[in-house]
Amino acid sequence: MRVTWDIFCNVVDNYGDIGVAWRLARGLAREHGLAVRLWVDDLRTFHRIWPAIDPLAAGQTSEGVAICAWHTPFVATEPARVVIEAFGCALPEAYLEAMARQSPPPVWINLEYLSAETWVAGHHGLPSPHARLPLTKYFFFPGYTADTGGLPAESGLMARREAFLERSAPGFWRDLQIGAPQADELRVSLFAYENPALSALLDAWAVDARPVTCLVPEGRIIPQLAAWLGVPSLQAGAVHQRGRLRLRILPFTDQDAYDQLLWACDLNFVRGEDSCVRAQWAARPLVWQAYPQADEAHWNKLDALLTLYTVGLDPAAACAVSGMWRHWNAMPDADGVAARWATWRARRAAIEHHAQAWCERLAGAGSLTEKLVEFAEKKLK
């Protein structure tokens, strides 16, 4: 009999939570042949990253995954053998009670946010007994080292990327109604939260010695871009030129097309968890904006990833990468963004080479999907 899995996702941070949960659900169904139900409390946001989803349907199937609307009060449902609570979303009380009535109880896993911090390995896999019910929850931490829960990555991802770059990239640019890149042109994707450093960065690009094309999927950064341009609003398809900078607004796209954008661009500005991981798998230089937290707690996460990411870079290139990341995250920095950008430009070749090498190193952490399945199977025995 197929082992059943339930994944619960409460959409909190726009697309990051559902992005990770959906990749996981697809991987479990496609690569491991598991019966997976994905419970989501905001199907409209889900629809943005996967347009095949009907935001009004109580139940539907996509990519072999049963998609269920998570409503309150929660409908009576027989729990799966493995239950994933994505990012501490708190399971419905009625579902927890049903879990407690099963013998043996389901394997209950709290999938935590990804972090490169050193404490993650020590907390990965730890049990947490429920205060009232005969249930135990296990904390599962994705991470960048082999002693953590690994990274989201579907099988064949690298082969798909290489095939795209070899055969499909010219057609990708044509579909966007953008010509092939010029020899000295830098193409940048920009997916970001609101950011006070944005105007200074755009100013630096506008006076760059070489042309910069910035491709911006519709999202939270659009009002800031419009204000910088001095226009009332921006819509998908809009193109604006200022100095050496050409800005083009793209329609919000699904996960697979966003991967292609990351593969095709020379530099990717990404935010949160899902797009950060995908940018690393793209083997392209990136600048990460961590999800802002109170008391700048996200700075620790940023520094932890920088510490790992810059291993093997020469000091000047490491300084260029760190400077851009830290400035983009409003960390204390004596230099302005123009100086940071000039330093990054000067070390671009080394940074590009490192991005490819880093992508190859990521495989050492293992696959999140495979490690979750292995963990659950051991607990089911």
Reduced to 3 states (helix: H, G, I; strand: E, B; else coil), residue 111 is: strand
- What is the rounded CA–CA span in Å between residue 130 and residue 153? 31
Alpha-carbon separation of residue 338 from 96, 195, 201, 350 (angstroms) = 53, 16, 7, 20
Residue type at 289 in one-letter notation: Q
List own/partner pairs for 156-161 with CB under 8 A and 24 or more apart.
Answer: 157/281, 158/281, 158/359, 161/259, 161/263, 161/281, 161/282, 161/283
Identify any residues that bridge with 59 across adjacent strands, giving them in sequence order.
68
Q: Which ranges of the chain does DSSP label H, i.e. alpha helix? A: 16-32, 43-49, 93-101, 120-123, 157-163, 169-175, 198-206, 222-229, 255-264, 274-281, 298-309, 315-328, 337-346, 348-362, 368-380
DSSP letter assigned to residue 134 = S
- What is the rounded CA–CA span in Å between residue 263 and residue 277? 13
How far does CA 241 lie from the centroid of its chain? 29
Indicate which residues carry an active-site annotation. 17, 273
- What is the rounded CA–CA span in Å between residue 265 and residue 217? 13
Q: What is the largest CA-CA distance in the chain?
A: 68
- What is the rounded CA–CA span in Å between residue 109 and residue 372? 9
Residue type at 293 in one-letter notation: Q
Sort 183 into a burial class: Cβ within 10 Å, 0-12 / 13-18 / 19+: exposed
